[in-house]
Structure 1
Amino acid sequence: MVLSVLLNIIFPPPPSLFVSAMSLISFVSLANAGFSEIKGKHLNYSKFWNSNTTPQKQIKLSSKSGMLLLYTPAFLAAAASFWVFPHEGIRSTLLQGAVTIHFFKRVFEVLFVHKYSGAMLLDSALPISLSYFLSSATMVYAQHLTQGLPEPRIDLLYPGVALFLVGIVGNFYHHYLLSNLRGKGEKEYKIPKGGLFEFVICPHYLFEIIGFVGVSFISQTLYPISFTVGTTFYLMGRSYATRRWYLSKFEDFPKDVKAIFPFVF
């Protein structure tokens, strides 16, 4: 039953060992990273940049440099895809555009929106950067392999565009609210207010998930779906750890504020 429904909404899996392997690897590695966050083993960036490590023995980057390292290769890969795979139809063009806009927004935020208080370890930055780069390139390549295949019976292209836009705008708005928490020169953390921060501590993660669901709907191929499900598990784990961190640091943190899904989790 599930397989029958799935075959109605996605393109037939391409005969590509690389894409099939990446679909499995992305899901397993991201889901495992999410469970690791819950267990207290964090990826070393943001407020957890020096968790579970001996920073004096690691190469430390400024947060801004580290974040640029995370997102720039993926943005360049997505942007270059317009030259590598030009004019392959509206679905492919929208997919390429969505991935490019997603990572361009991240680079833009690093340069002009975010305010930083910590650092990032190179040992964490490199695998995350590689993961984003491969994910960006694989999404585009998986779409390229659908050329000549029949369209899925259920067309989710334009609902996907709508969800992507909701995700990208909601994510940016809540990043903007976070940046406004600190005045010039301030580095301490504060309890976020405004928007969906009244209900969850990581609404920017919620909108990131919505955006990737949109990308999956635009693409309707196996790899973005696997990446989105894995990313959902990871961001659930990261948001759970973030909420636990706020509870430990702020006695007045509101207990009814959830991690990522309002009223639920």
Structure 2
Amino acid sequence: MASMLSRLIIFPTPPSLIVSVMSVVSLVVIAGLGVSEILGKHMLYSKFWNLNPEKSSRKQIKLSSRTGMLVLYVPAFLSGAVSFVLYPNHDLRLFLVKATLTIHFFKRVVEVLCVHKYSSSAVVLDSAIPISSSYFSATSTMIYGQYLTQGFPEPQLDLKYPGILLFLLGIIGNFYHHQVLASLRTKDDKEYKIPKGGLFDLVVCPHYLFEVLGFIGIFFISQTLYSFCFTLGTIVYLIGRSYATRRWYLSKFEDFPKDVKALIPCVF
């Protein structure tokens, strides 16, 4: 049954030990980070940069929020951009995978530079390095794995066109809600506020919800085992991160509305 399902929606796995190993590693590691968020062990950036109860005895290197976020996203963006030179071709699916990943991280860089307004929080280097490495390796592996499918039989169900629509919905919705968050602060305002507007009245992390939709769209375009594993791991991570974010707002604001969910309106 599983084999039949995989043939229906996923390319045959190319004979690459690197791609096979990275598929398992990405799923286990990224999903594990999501579970850690639920358990209260956070990646140290944004509002959680100083919340972990266990303090390390060695001195932590802190980056400004803007610098730290650029460290997170620039390597993955460069990986996507360089892939157009490394893997030139006329295959539509490979082109779309390269384009969507490059656009996704280019948008992130633009938001860091032009949209986000930062609090007094920071990004701890010990968290920035693994996150940046994860994004970079995921982008590189997903594109390489797609390149290896050249000449393989296509999945029976072609999902790339619904994937394009989901990706566009995800990236537009994510960008819009980042703008809503940014509008909550004036230039010199460093304090967190209860977010309002858009889907923030229903869930505390609609930007994560649209990010999930965007990555599902990339999987639909790619239809490889690696993209499935990375997307599934990312969904688990964002579920954990949104759960932790809602818990943080409830602890910080007595008037935070209890009916606002974490990620999925009226459900979770």
Q: TM-score interval w.r.t. the shorter chain?
A: over 0.9
Counterpart in the other structure of 2:89: 87
Counterpart in the other structure of 2:42: 42
Amino acid at match of 1:72: V
Cα distance in 1, alignment partners of residues 33 and 153 from structure 2? 35
Cα distance in 2, alignment partners of residues 247 and 173 from structure 1? 24
CA drift of 1:56 comes to 7.8
**How many residue pairs end up in the alignment?**
265
Whether the 8 Å CA contact 2:117–2:187 is kept in 1: the answer is no
Amino acid at match of 1:20: S
Q: Deviations over 1:203-234 (max 9, x none)?
A: 00000000000000000101111001000000
TM-score (norm 2): 0.97
Cα distance in 2, alignment partners of residues 40 and 110 from structure 1? 26
Q: Deviations over 1:71-126 (max 9, x none)?
A: 00000000000000012411110110000000000000000000111111111101
Gaps of 5+ in 2: none
Q: Is 1:98 aligned with 2:100? A: yes
Cα distance in 2, alignment partners of residues 58 and 22 from structure 1? 29
* Runs of 4+ with deviation above 3 angstroms: 53-56
Amino acid at match of 1:4: M
Counterpart in the other structure of 2:235: 232
Amino acid at match of 2:190: K
1:180-191 map, 5 Å? 180-191=183-194
- The one of 196, 210, 215 aligned to 2:199: 196
TM-score (norm 1): 0.98
Q: Is 1:15 aligned with 2:18? A: no
Cα distance in 1, alignment partners of residues 231 and 134 from structure 2? 13
Cα distance in 1, alignment partners of residues 150 and 172 from structure 2? 30
Counterpart in the other structure of 2:167: 164
Amino acid at match of 1:138: T
CA drift of 1:3 comes to 3.0
Cα distance in 1, alignment partners of residues 212 and 57 from structure 2? 31
Whether the 8 Å CA contact 2:65–2:118 is kept in 1: the answer is yes
Counterpart in the other structure of 1:136: 139
Q: Is 1:31 aligned with 2:20? A: no
Amino acid at match of 2:172: V
Q: Is 1:146 aligned with 2:149? A: yes
- The one of 215, 220, 223 aligned to 2:218: 215
CA drift of 1:51 comes to 2.2
Cα distance in 1, alignment partners of residues 172 and 117 from structure 2? 19
What's the RMSD between the two structures over aligned residues?
1.1
Describe the SS at the equivalent of 1:231: helix
